[in-house]
């Protein structure tokens, strides 16, 4: 008796050779890149939204741009912390998928929505009530505090909308569906641009709102993002199978774990963002041109940093999925593949920035004195792109495998306790100016990356030992 096996054939009926089976490393690499691409686009969309506001308001009035910038500064801290506090939605969703408990992802989503609403409303109240008092306590000149007060309040009003949309985005990313979030983010960018062009200069007979118009544009964009994501989730074919419409049973351990992951990420974001913002103070002690030059360095590196952020989210999904499946080898493989990929991307980014630094600097200013500071600072920036990228990916990988507080402590030591004093010492007593500030970032990035990679390796060895003992 002859067994006949079916073989794949092309359109003409010719038999095709069987596909070569993929190894686990290649499979994980392809999955990482598939997940990271849309997430990177989504994170870039966040940057573009802020850049659009600044460009439209700045072209309308330099004074109004100052009001907008001052209003956004405290708002960005609330936004960044909320995003960190809600990371648990992404991780817990991926873990549930890895454990084969798809229906439990609905419970993760519903817990996240409730939590995000409380965070958004609380942040809105604090920002709206205390933000204006904070601005007026700084002794700002040229009426900056008064001009920034109303935009600050409008930014606060949109915080709950954004918090809920972050949960929906993270939930979809945890399901390994990052594309809808990216598409919705860019649609929100179109809404933001249209609203800016309408409200900031006051077209079609509307009053010109300046910086306040920019803030209302952000409100409109965040509302559009939330509505679009909510409609997509509710209309998903498998929404019912995923438990979206089912009220989950109370699970206090799961609730605590979901919040615990967020506590560490929120604290890390606060330390890192505050430390980089604090470099403005050191630059201010050097001089006004140093502040402008540092702003260019920070903006350029922030745009590039969106790529590591996207890879970090994809890494958290893969590591979290392996964690839920109780697959230590999968966690190890997913983590180190991601570290290698992002290190290569960081090196490539530096190699691209170095020869193009003149063009990049000229996009911001043509002032010869400012360029004299910006160009050498951008050269040094090339050296911290890779370690900075590695540290954010390693931190997310650790959180996904249950290690929450080590990344937070690492960021506290590296950014809050080391970078600031080192930047001051190199820039002022050592007389290195802005280059000293950037050198402190380089040193701190390598320090943080080294700590986090070492911890990931220690956990690898621990899990391998436990697996051998169990066998």
Q: Model confidence over 320-352: pLDDT tens digits?
A: 999 999 899 999 999 999 999 999 999 999 999
Q: Quickly state the pLDDT bin for 20 (edges 50, 70, 90).
A: low
Asked if residue 12 has pLDDT above 50, the reply is no
Question: Residue 9 forms beta bridges with which residues?
Answer: 15
Distance between CA 338 and CA 105 in Å, rounded?
Answer: 25
The residue-averaged pLDDT of 224-250 equals 92
21/396: higher pLDDT: 396
170/271: higher pLDDT: 170
* 3-class state of residue 23 by DSSP: coil
Distance between CA 240 and CA 111 in Å, rounded?
Answer: 16
Q: Which of 15-24, 134-143, 189-198, 357-366 has the highest average model confidence (pLDDT)?
A: 189-198
Q: To the nearest 10°, the Cα dihedral for 271, 79, 284, 294? A: 90
Read off the DSSP letter of residue 415: I
For residue 470, CA distances in Å to 155, 326, 328, 403, 467 come to 54, 13, 13, 22, 5
Mark out the alpha helices in 61-86 (DSSP H runs).
Answer: 62-85
Q: Quickly state the pLDDT bin for 3 (edges 50, 70, 90).
A: very low
* Residue whose tokens read 């038999």: 15
The pLDDT value recorded for residue 17 is: 53
Mean pLDDT of the chain: 87
Q: Quickly state the pLDDT bin for 202 (edges 50, 70, 90).
A: confident
Q: Quickly state the pLDDT bin for 471 (edges 50, 70, 90).
A: low
pLDDT one-digit tens code per residue, 31-89 = 898 888 898 888 888 888 887 887 788 778 777 877 887 788 788 888 888 998 999 99
Q: Are 392 and 410 in contact (CB under 8 A)?
A: no
Distance between CA 229 and CA 183 in Å, rounded?
Answer: 10
Listed residue (188, 161, 202, 184) closest to 57, CA to CA: 202
Instruction: Write out the two tokens for 372.
Output: 């004299």
Distance between CA 371 and CA 365 in Å, rounded?
Answer: 7
Distance between CA 219 and CA 257 in Å, rounded?
Answer: 31
Listed residue (296, 60, 304, 325) closest to 200, CA to CA: 60
117/268: higher pLDDT: 117
Q: Is 129 exposed, middle or buried (0-12, 13-18, 19+ CB in 10 A)?
A: exposed
Q: Quickly state the pLDDT bin for 5 (edges 50, 70, 90).
A: very low
Distance between CA 180 and CA 183 in Å, rounded?
Answer: 5
Listed residue (429, 214, 448, 452) closest to 315, CA to CA: 452
* DSSP string for residues in 307-366: HHHHHHHHHHHHHHHHHHTT-HHHHHHHHHHHHHHHHHHHHHHHHHHHHHHHHHHHTT--
Distance between CA 161 and CA 165 in Å, rounded?
Answer: 6
Tell me which of 96-105, 193-202, 309-318, 358-367 is least confident: 358-367
Asked if residue 4 has pLDDT above 60, the reply is no
Q: Is 459 exposed, middle or buried (0-12, 13-18, 19+ CB in 10 A)?
A: buried
The pLDDT value recorded for residue 18 is: 52
pTM exceeding the 0.85 threshold for the entire prediction: no
Q: Quickly state the pLDDT bin for 10 (edges 50, 70, 90).
A: very low
Asked if residue 112 has pLDDT above 70, the reply is yes
Q: Are 294 and 437 in contact (CB under 8 A)?
A: yes
Question: Residue 88 forms beta bridges with which residues?
Answer: none
pLDDT one-digit tens code per residue, 393-445 = 999 999 999 888 899 999 999 988 999 899 999 999 998 999 999 999 999 99
Q: Are 181 and 38 in contact (CB under 8 A)?
A: yes
Distance between CA 225 and CA 212 in Å, rounded?
Answer: 20
Distance between CA 157 and CA 215 in Å, rounded?
Answer: 10
CA angle 387, 390, 395 (to 5 degrees): 125
The residue-averaged pLDDT of 186-197 equals 95
The pLDDT value recorded for residue 1 is: 43
Q: Residue 204: CB partners within 8 Å, gap ≥ 6? A: 198
Q: Are 381 and 300 in contact (CB under 8 A)?
A: yes
Asked if residue 376 has pLDDT above 90, the reply is yes
The pLDDT value recorded for residue 28 is: 84
Q: Quickly state the pLDDT bin for 463 (edges 50, 70, 90).
A: confident
Q: Residue 376: CB partners within 8 Å, gap ≥ 6? A: 435
pLDDT one-digit tens code per residue, 257-291 = 999 988 888 888 888 877 877 787 787 788 767 87
Q: Quickly state the pLDDT bin for 311 (edges 50, 70, 90).
A: very high
Asked if residue 175 has pLDDT above 50, the reply is yes
250/112: higher pLDDT: 112
């Amino acid at each position: 008796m002859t067994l006949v096996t079916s073989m794949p054939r092309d359109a003409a009926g010719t038999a095709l050779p069987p596909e070569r089976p993929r190894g686990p490393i290649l499979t994980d690499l392809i999955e990482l890149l598939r997940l990271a691409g849309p997430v990177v686009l989504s994170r870039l969309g966040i940057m573009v939204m802020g850049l659009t506001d600044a460009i439209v308001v700045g072209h309308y009035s330099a004074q109004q741009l100052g009001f907008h910038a001052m209003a956004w500064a405290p708002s960005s801290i609330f936004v960044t912390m909320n995003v960190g506090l809600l990371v648990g939605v992404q991780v817990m969703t991926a873990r549930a998928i890895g454990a084969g408990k798809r229906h439990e992802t609905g419970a993760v989503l519903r817990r996240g929505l409730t939590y995000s609403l409380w965070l958004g409303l609380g942040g809105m109240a604090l920002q709206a009530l205390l933000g204006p008092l904070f601005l007026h306590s700084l002794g700002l000149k040229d009426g900056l505090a008064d001009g920034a007060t109303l935009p600050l309040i409008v930014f606060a009003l949109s915080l709950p909308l954004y918090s809920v949309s972050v949960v929906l985005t993270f939930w979809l990313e945890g399901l390994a569906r990052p594309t809808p979030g990216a598409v919705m983010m860019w649609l929100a960018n179109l809404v933001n641009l249209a609203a800016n062009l309408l409200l900031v200069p006051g077209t079609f007979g509307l009053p010109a709102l300046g910086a306040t118009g920019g803030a209302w544009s952000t409100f409109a964009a965040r509302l559009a993002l939330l509505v679009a994501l909510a409609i997509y989730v509710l209309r998903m074919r498998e929404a019912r199978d995923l438990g979206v419409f089912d009220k989950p049973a109370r699970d206090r351990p799961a609730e605590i774990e979901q919040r615990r992951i967020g506590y560490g990420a929120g604290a890390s974001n606060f330390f890192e963002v505050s430390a980089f913002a604090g470099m403005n103070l050191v630059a201010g002690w050097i001089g006004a041109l140093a502040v402008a030059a540092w702003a260019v360095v920070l903006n350029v590196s922030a745009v590039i940093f969106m790529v590591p952020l996207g890879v970090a989210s994809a890494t958290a999904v893969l590591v979290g999925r392996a964690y839920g499946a109780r697959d230590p080898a999968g966690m190890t493989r997913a983590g180190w593949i991601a570290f290698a990929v992002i290190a290569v991307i960081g090196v490539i980014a530096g190699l691209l920035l170095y020869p193009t630094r003149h063009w990049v600097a000229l996009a911001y200013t043509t002032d010869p004195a400012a360029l004299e500071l910006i160009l050498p600072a951008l050269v040094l920036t090339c050296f911290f792109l890779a370690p900075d990228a590695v540290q954010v990916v390693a931190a997310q990988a650790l959180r996904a495998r249950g290690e929450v507080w080590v990344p937070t402590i690492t960021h506290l030591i590296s950014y809050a306790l080391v970078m600031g004093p080192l930047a001051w010492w190199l820039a002022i007593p050592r007389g290195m100016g802005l280059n000293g500030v950037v050198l402190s970032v380089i040193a701190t990035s390598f320090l943080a990356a080294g700590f986090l990679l070492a911890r990931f390796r220690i956990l690898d060895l621990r899990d391998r030992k436990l697996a051998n003992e169990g066998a």
